Structure 1
Amino acid sequence: MFDLGRGFLATVERRPHAVAISDGGTHKTYAQWYADIQSVARHLGWLGLGKGDRLLMAMHNRWQMATLYWACQFAGIIATPVNWRSTALDIRYYLKNSGAGVIAYDDAAAEAVLACAEAHRIPQIVVGTAMPPSAIAFDSMLGSTGDTLLMATPDDYSMMLYTSGTTGRPKGVPRRHRVERAATAAYVAQNLYRHDETVLGVMPLYHATGVRALQAMAMVDGRFVCIPKFEPEATLDAIERERVTSLNLVPTLYHMLLEAPGFSRHRVASIDKVGFAGAPMSAGLIARVEAAFQPSLFVNQYGCSELYALTVDQHANHKPGSSGRAALNQRLRIIKIGSTSPQMCVSPGAEGEIIADMRGDEAFEGYWACPEADDKAVREGWYFTGDTGYFDDDGDLFVTGRVDDLINSGGENISPLEIENVLSLHPQIEEVAVVGLPDEKWGQAVTAFIKARSALDERELGSYCLDAGLTRFKCPRSYRFIEELPKSPVGKVLRRVLRVQSVTSGVQGAPTQQANVTMG
């Protein structure tokens, strides 16, 4: 099997003059970009990084970031991208945990890096204007010549992503070249990518979906269109200018694109395929995306940093809510919630925890320097995702949330996603998130947080839920109207923030409105 560097070189040899990457007015062919990548790889070695060492990167999606990533693949260095919104404390943690020998950053992360004492003890590579005297300008690493660097093997580590840290400190997920290549090949097949595909590179390169798109385009001789920071109008400009053929976003970004004043079908006419990952897409948003883009392929991929794509549905618009079936390199089970044995499977239709076979080609082998996390997540050769879901009678998986997100009201386990799907179809609801808030009588009360397009009556919403087929105990007991839902950097709605805000201080400026619905 090729390592990732040899895979990229094969593309350069096939189509050296094809455009490989664009970033605003910058366009580079595979031959031009390869020369830059090799030059940067040499300079990383001159800075003291060798095979197996880590390069920490905190910057926007830009061609320089992608160049550093590919330079690591040729040099045998472990690319370690982190959130460019990180604080100085975050940077300190990442440096200490990863043991990175060099840090690269741009203006987006400059303030945090410069405030971190540990970052000043190692070489700094900088893109932008915030240049401390001892730092190395990225541009100075371009233009060198020499022998081709091909230092990695398929069994070497390629990269390390950090999990989002929803249950504590982020954990490093190291992944080998062969694992990355297998995952990328599966991604190409599952998204039906062609050699002339042009993908919008808007998902951050510290996120599995972002890095997967970058590697997939290099595998099929396609083009990666950098979007440094998601802004609806700039993104629409890039789609129109670069004739982007494929989108793969989190649902929140689709919502923001469709709500943009400048959105029109004409501006996105080049889009042929759409996909989403990172969070479920409501039935209402699926209908809007299908109408707006009229795609030939509508893909939903459910996965995680540890095992990448767990399931794929290439007809996400046909069965809203479904995540499809096990992806090319996966085996899945649903086990009883709270069980520690992968043998405790539940029947079709019953909700439980989703677990995945660790023997799959895309699976990691354990967290970086975190054995206690391994002990919790990996049991008897199966990875316990912490996600809940069920298989329907057709064998399709429905992901219903996180184990911690389940609402227990009156002794009944309730999935927030089912209720959100119903409310998302209401024409006056722009976005909705459902959580369980402490309640003396019920244990937890089903509560809907709504961003509305116009004023709504809570009585009407209660009747709407019943008319849509929700059983009475699942209907929200209260509604709270807010201006924006809290979200993670990649657009996931943060239900835990809604819970904490409501319990500690309430939702500022958002009056609680009780639903007048009789509950059974």
Structure 2
Amino acid sequence: MAGLVCLARQGAEKFADAIAIEGPQGSLSFSQLDSRVGELTTRLIRQGVEQGSHLAAVGPTSLELVLLQLACIRLGAVFAPLSPRFPDSQLMQLLNQIDARFLWHHQGVSLGGLTSLSLEEGLPPNDGNPLSRSQPVSLILTSGSSGHPKAAMHSLGNHLASAAGSLAQIPLAPGDRWLASLPMFHIGGLALMFRCLDAGATLVLPRHKELLHNLRETRVSHLSLVATQLGWLLDAKDSAALMAPLKLVLLGGGPIPQALLTRLSHHPIRALTSYGMTEMASQITTGPANDQGLSGTLLPGRELRIHQGIIEVRGETRFLGYYQEGSLNQPFDDQGWFHTKDRGEWHGESLKVLGRADNMFISGGENVQPEEIEAALKQHPQIDDAVVLPVPDDTFGLLPVAVIRGNAQLPDQEEMDRFLAPKLARFKRPRRYLTWPKEYVQQGLKVSRQGLSAALGERLKLD
């Protein structure tokens, strides 16, 4: 598309002295960011990076990752951020999977024969190649529910459409400040960068690993959270001071417990929830936060239909396909629909996600969807989180057992049966309730059903 420029150059032209990035290394205006991206583009060219190159970057969210993504866009290269939590052996497998020719490592480590790139400053800026919306610019790993993560390839147009659609529901402007609380190796973190730069808002880079430490050191107006993080924020002794600057929180990860929403309602903060995925460049629907599992209305640039109970998506934000050692697998039907494996239904114009089709199990001949039960449990005022697991039973095959946690005295079986009676059929009500195991250590933002089950061990079995 003629006249298409990268977000750093666009920001320099539209917002000039407004602050684009703030972090441990100080602040950069949009004009300064444009200059830094130009310098890095020159540096990468001198180290052999060219159009079509795949550049992997290992490290937490940082200014370096932002600059690398923007420089790759200018060059026509493909940026692949990888989690530093992966062991070296797995990182080397992933580098082969994505055909990485170049590597930047936050610790300067060399992996798989790739020398970590130098990002020194002080070179003349380079404007790069003419840009196209169709050019591939990123490879983001999926969560790997199938046992091995897949690398989803996105075009520049995918990311720009994602940002534009999000801004239709969440207006941003210079002066707004969004904390990059989601890592850039997750689609939500990368999408946030595009969203802020497109609108002239400030992307606030984390100074610490812990969310609350970051909020204590800098004021932000916008924040992305999952329910667990919201609980941490509300439980903090200085919660009122931490939340005072906030205008909006975007909540993900499924239904939000009623107990958390009630506590959040005491603060003058707009709370939204969303449904999104890597394959659609982040957000698909967005709407007011609720405990009913409603994920809001469809954002511009996306299409969604429910076919035989399964959510299918396509549109301007739909990814190019899964990249694997030189091949691009495009798992779309003849009309371009991507089958998500998420079950869903419409409630008016709002989407309700019922859960993963592959989480469903059969109990006494009846289909049981764990996420439906979890959404009902989270409506109880004393429950902050709940996970339902299938447990073997000689009579029914499998029965649902709930693992719950909360701040107050948790309800007993009899009370929960009364609470759930008007919400769930008898066969869906948990046959046992277990408190959250102290042994379980959550890795990342999502609770692992397998990890939780392993931590419970013999306690999970029915009497």
TM-score of the aligned structures, taking structure 2 as reference length: 0.91
**Corresponding position of 2:183:** 204
Would the aligned equivalents of 2:389 and 2:402 in 1 still touch at CA under 8 Å? yes
Which stretches in structure 2 are left out of the alignment for 5+ residues? Answer: none
Would the aligned equivalents of 2:391 and 2:461 in 1 still touch at CA under 8 Å? no
Amino acid in structure 1 at the alignment position of 2:405: K
Q: Which has the higher contact order (CA 8 A, sep 6+)?
A: 2
**1:513 Cα deviation (Å)?**
8.7
**1:218 Cα deviation (Å)?**
0.9
- Of 452, 456, 459, the match for 1:507: 456
Would the aligned equivalents of 1:202 and 1:227 in 2 still touch at CA under 8 Å? yes
**1:278 Cα deviation (Å)?**
4.2
CA distance 1:280–1:26, change in 2 (3 Å): same
**1:183 Cα deviation (Å)?**
1.5
**Corresponding position of 1:478:** 432
| Alpha-carbon displacement from aligned partner over 1:88-129 (angstroms, at most 9, x marks no partner) | 12211221011112111224xx7xx55x4x1xx22203xxxx
| Alpha-carbon displacement from aligned partner over 1:135-188 (angstroms, at most 9, x marks no partner) | x4x4xx112124433453222111111111111321111111122211111122
CA distance 1:192–1:38, change in 2 (3 Å): same
Answering whether residue 31 of structure 2 is matched by residue 31 of structure 1, we say yes
Alpha-carbon separation, structure 1, partners of 2:442 and 2:49: 32
Alpha-carbon separation, structure 1, partners of 2:271 and 2:417: 32
SS of residue matched to 1:448: strand
Answering whether residue 400 of structure 2 is matched by residue 446 of structure 1, we say yes
- Of 241, 246, 263, the match for 2:239: 263
**1:368 Cα deviation (Å)?**
0.8
**Corresponding position of 1:289:** 264
Amino acid in structure 2 at the alignment position of 1:48: G
CA distance 1:219–1:32, change in 2 (3 Å): same
**1:490 Cα deviation (Å)?**
3.9
Task: Within 5 Å, give how 1:171-182 maps onto structure 2.
Answer: 171-182=150-161
**1:367 Cα deviation (Å)?**
1.1
CA distance 1:310–1:62, change in 2 (3 Å): closer
- Of 252, 261, 274, the match for 2:249: 274
**Corresponding position of 2:339:** 384
Amino acid in structure 1 at the alignment position of 2:128: L
**Corresponding position of 2:286:** 313
SS of residue matched to 1:323: coil
**Corresponding position of 2:15:** 15
**Corresponding position of 2:43:** 43
Answering whether residue 35 of structure 2 is matched by residue 6 of structure 1, we say no
Task: Within 5 Å, give how 1:417-432 maps onto structure 2.
Answer: 417-432=371-386
CA distance 1:55–1:2, change in 2 (3 Å): farther
**1:444 Cα deviation (Å)?**
1.5
**1:424 Cα deviation (Å)?**
2.5
- Of 447, 451, 458, the match for 1:497: 451
Would the aligned equivalents of 1:430 and 1:453 in 2 still touch at CA under 8 Å? yes
Answering whether residue 320 of structure 2 is matched by residue 365 of structure 1, we say yes
Which stretches in structure 1 are left out of the alignment for 5+ residues? Answer: 126-135, 337-351, 516-520
**Corresponding position of 1:248:** 224
SS of residue matched to 2:20: strand
**Corresponding position of 1:342:** none
**1:7 Cα deviation (Å)?**
3.4
Identity of aligned residues (%): 25
**1:429 Cα deviation (Å)?**
3.0
**1:226 Cα deviation (Å)?**
0.6
SS of residue matched to 1:463: helix
CA distance 1:369–1:511, change in 2 (3 Å): closer
**1:3 Cα deviation (Å)?**
8.3
Task: Within 5 Å, give how 1:32-111 maps onto structure 2.
Answer: 32-107=32-107
**Corresponding position of 2:271:** 298
**Corresponding position of 2:307:** 335
Alpha-carbon separation, structure 2, partners of 1:57 and 1:355: 31
Alpha-carbon separation, structure 1, partners of 2:2 and 2:190: 18
Amino acid in structure 1 at the alignment position of 2:15: R
CA distance 1:38–1:22, change in 2 (3 Å): same
Aligned residues: 463
Q: More displaced, 36-45 or 452-461?
A: 452-461
SS of residue matched to 2:279: coil
**Corresponding position of 1:436:** 390
**1:450 Cα deviation (Å)?**
1.8
| Alpha-carbon displacement from aligned partner over 1:323-350 (angstroms, at most 9, x marks no partner) | 12322122222222xxxxxxxxxxxxxx
Alpha-carbon separation, structure 2, partners of 1:191 and 1:480: 39
Amino acid in structure 1 at the alignment position of 2:336: G
Alpha-carbon separation, structure 1, partners of 2:3 and 2:445: 32
Q: CA RMSD in A?
A: 2.8
**1:255 Cα deviation (Å)?**
2.0
CA distance 1:5–1:18, change in 2 (3 Å): same
